[in-house]
Structure 1
Amino acid sequence: MKKTFKIYAVIFIVVMVILALLEVNKKETTNWRKNFNIHEKSPFGLFVFNNEAKDLFKNNLKKIEQTPYDYYTQHKKEVHNIIVIEKELDKESWKKILDEVSNGSDAMILVSHAPKDISDSIGYHSSDISFEEENVLKLTDKKYQNDFIKLDKFPSGRGFSYIKPNVEVLGKTVEKNNSDQANFIKIRFGKGTIYAHSEPLFLTNYYLLKPGNIKYAQDVFSYLQDRETIWFVENDTKVSRFFMRFVLSNPALKYAWWLFLGGLILFIFFNAKRKQRIVPVLEPLRNTSVDFVKSIGNLYLQEGDFHDMMAKKAQYFLNKVRMDLLIDTQNLDAEFAKKLQLKTGKNIEMINEAIVLIRKGQDPYAHVMKEDLTRLNKLLDEILK
């Protein structure tokens, strides 16, 4: 028991030292994934915008966690504003939004990729218009000409490659080496209006925290009327309800938990192994048939009765031919040789030589030598292979 305890102690100390070194040398890494999550404080989350949205929309903002299809199926709304920020929606939800706009609502769609059939029905095509690492977003209205935002981290480069003649361009992507490209447009749709922006990155934490950039966002949303605004956000029910979520969310507690589980498993493993009942060794049953055959073979060799052995080998072979190959063995003639050659695919000379030796073994007066038995055995094994 003392030896086992020492093993546990050494393992525990080694693991603790490794965890301590990992914790000391751990570097905080920045998550640059474009998640557009309202609770994320990473560079491309929407935590800042989510906190500023109430003031931006004068406390007339309502965040909805349902899909537009589910929400509008359950609620009949007066005309209002709709906001969608880089959110994947099913086609039925898009159609519900278009129905609301047709009835007089306004929609602000800030997505880099919209379903093609939806964008086609609205009146534009979106695609990659830039591959530069930096660009500038500007509005075309003269009263906003001093308000712009510079995208210097992973801009999507998306814009509108084609728009219908009746579509109004409200904003553009400006680059040094390329001509200006539309990225913010206004489309009349039924009784309402759709505002489509192809670069929602300007709403993320990284850009809104830079001085002056909030003004561009305010200018974009100023096109919406002063009325109730519905913002469709990601469903917060995706947050884990697991009872261990607090422990697992804290690095120190998480390491302690996994260390405890690892130690428990090691203890169970070693303890069970030490107390396990000795399993008796059972000798496998011997195949006495093989020993019997060897004994009979040795007896024949000692007696030197090669003729009898040759006759039995021939008898066994012919019986095998009748049962497996369905060939009549009464007459060992040319026709028999031909059938055997067709069924086995062996050389006819080999088969004829084997027939001669079989007849010799069947002849009680023939003189059989050890070499004849050896040759017959080899031929018959080769034919039946």
Structure 2
Amino acid sequence: MNKSFKIYILIFILILITVGLFQLGKKPVLDWRKNYDVDKKTPFGLYIFNQESRDLFNKKLEKVRVSPYNYYEENYEKKPHNILVIQKELDDVSWEYIMYEVSNGSDVMWFTDKTTAPLRDTLGFRFKTVSFESNYYLQLTDKKLSNHRLFIDKLPDNKGFSYIRNDIEVLGKTLHKENNNRSSINANFIKVNFGKGHFYIHSEPLILTNYYLLNSKNKYIESVFSYLPDRETIWFMENDAPLSMSPMRFILSSQPLKYACYLLLLGLIIFVFFNAKRKQRIVPVTEPLKNTSVEFIRSIGNLYLQEGDFHEMMAKKAQFFLSKVRMDLLIDTQNLDEQFIHKLHLKTGKNIELIKQAVELVQKGQNPYASVMKEDLIRMNQLIDQILK
């Protein structure tokens, strides 16, 4: 180990010790970000709600960590139930499945301050900013529940509803106070009839966070959930992405460890930069290897055409199509049955009759005893191109 390297190591250790001393005397910073994370104990996490949710729903709560699309694909004959969604951006296909369940008698309790325009148009409401004040009250319109108010005093979203259809019922309002007098009232909790079921939409998801659950002095939150029938409730907590359990997740979740990691990386980069600048030799120019893939594919294609083996070409095209479906659309191709056709129709949006024709030709190409003609190969190629566009 040379002398300069020892100096670098000594400087790096001194920097680490200095940063550590600063961190020891530093007060922990409270994270006020609105994360709505069921595992976070920060003010705007959902840890307490997650722990108390089963009692709130009378032990009839099922917590689901997959998308509604995947859940209802496996539970497509489920009887009417309650659905809970808290500040999640679901895909359009998942919302189609939820709306189908609601039209058949299910109810949705949805806490959100944003959503897509097509969904707002379907349900008939708009979001608006009700005020720029730093605090206000949330109050239910039912006279029996009007005493159950919740005071919002930390980072309110200031969201409410406007352009409400005549058949939409207002269940809760935002009450602003100026000099202890009522100044304005705006809808923040509505009921939307949809088929045989209902959407209960609340524009202030903060009410379920740790801060407001700990500071709530009445039964406002219980009153909000009392609008749901006493039956099974499905809570869609997360999307399909699994929770990362890597060591880096633990390091980056702690601010001191995160700064130490960044400092370590910076020191390594500086060390490599200075050493590479002094010791790097001249790199010889190496000609890249020539890509002959195109010529190879052209030669194989000409060979098949010369042999006139349309069955083999059709089988290769079928293998390519099924591989693309597995890799790009994530659909199992083990059984090319009605369920496969239905899933391919949902993922691609193509005509179902066109998909059925393509599947029949793919099965014909895979059958070693089938009689294949040139027209079959051309037709299958055209159908596959249309589906995969």
Q: TM-score, normalised by structure 1?
A: 0.63
**Contact 2:150-2:216 within 8 A present in 1 as well:** no
- Counterpart of 2:73 in structure 1 is 73
Please show how residues 339-358 of structure 1 align to structure 2 within 5 Å: none
Q: 2:215 aligns with which of 198, 210, 229?
A: 210
Partner of 1:166: 167
Between 216-225 and 10-19, the greater mean CA deviation after superposition: 10-19
Q: Within 2, Cα distance between the matches of 1:264 and 1:122?
A: 55
Write the letter of the residue equivalent to 2:222.
Answer: Q
Other-structure match for 1:339: none
Q: What is residue 229 of structure 1 aligned with on the other side?
A: 233
Paired AA for residue 162 in structure 2: S
Q: CA RMSD in A?
A: 3.0
Q: Following superposition of structure 1 onto structure 2, how do residues 1-385 of structure 1 map, counting pairs within 5 Å?
A: 3-4=3-4, 7-8=7-8, 10-76=10-76, 77-176=78-177, 178-213=183-218, 215-235=219-239, 237-246=241-250, 249=253
Report if aligned partners of 1:248, 1:254 keep a CA contact under 8 Å in 2. yes
Q: Following the alignment from structure 2 to structure 1, what is the Cα–Cα distance between the partners of residues 244 and 197?
A: 39
Q: Partners in 2 of 1:277 and 1:179 — Cα distance?
A: 72
AA partner of residue 14 (structure 1): L
* 257-266 or 233-242, which deviates more: 257-266
Deviation of 1:158 after TM superposition, in Å, equals: 1.1
2:151 partner amino acid = K
Q: Distance in 2 between matches of 1:11 and 1:56?
A: 57
SS in 2 for 1:180: strand
Deviations 1:41-64 (A, max 9, x none): 111111111111010001111111
Judge conservation of contact 1:32–1:42 (CA < 8 Å) in 2.
yes
Contact (CA 8 Å) 1:108, 1:194: kept in 2 or not? yes
Letter in 1 for 2:198: T
> 1:348 — aligned with what?
none
Q: What's the counterpart of residue 357 of structure 2? A: none
Distance 2:152 2:221 in 1: 13
Identity of aligned residues (%): 52
Q: Is the 8 Å Cα contact of residues 129 and 161 (structure 1) preserved in structure 2? A: no
8 Å CA contact 2:67–2:240 kept in 1: the answer is no
Distance 1:156 1:278 in 2: 59
Aligned to 1:133, the other structure's residue is in SS state coil
Q: For 2:244 and 2:88, how far apart are their aligned partners in 1?
A: 21
CA positional deviation for 1:196: 1.3
Larger Rg: 1
Q: Once the 2 structures are TM-superposed, how far is the Cα of residue 262 of structure 1 from its aligned partner?
A: 7.2
Gapped runs of 5+ residues in structure 1?
A: 280-385
Q: Mark the CA change 1:54 to 1:278 in structure 2 (over 3 Å): closer, same or farther.
A: closer
Q: Displacement of 1:221 after TM fit?
A: 0.3
Q: How many residues align?
A: 277
For residues 17 and 93 of structure 1, do their structure 2 counterparts lie closer, same or farther at Cα, with a shift above 3 Å needed?
same
Measured in 2, the distance between the counterparts of 1:206 and 1:265 equals 42
Q: TM-score, normalised by structure 2?
A: 0.63
**1:14: Cα distance to partner?**
2.3
Preserved CA contact (<8 Å) 1:53 1:61 = yes
**Structure 1 residue 135, shift from structure 2 partner:** 0.9
Assess if the C-alpha contact under 8 Å between 2:137 and 2:151 holds in 1: yes
CA displacement 1:72-114 (0-9 Å, x = unmatched): 2232211000111111122222222111111011111111112
CA deviations on 1:253-279 (whole Å, 9 max, x unpaired) are: 6677677777777888888899x6999
User: 1:78–1:270: structure 2 CA closer, same or farther, 3 Å change rule?
Assistant: same
Could you say what secondary structure the match of 1:202 adopts? helix
Q: Distance in 1 between matches of 2:41 and 2:240?
A: 16
Q: CA deviation at 1:28?
A: 1.8
Which one is further off, 224-233 or 17-26?
17-26
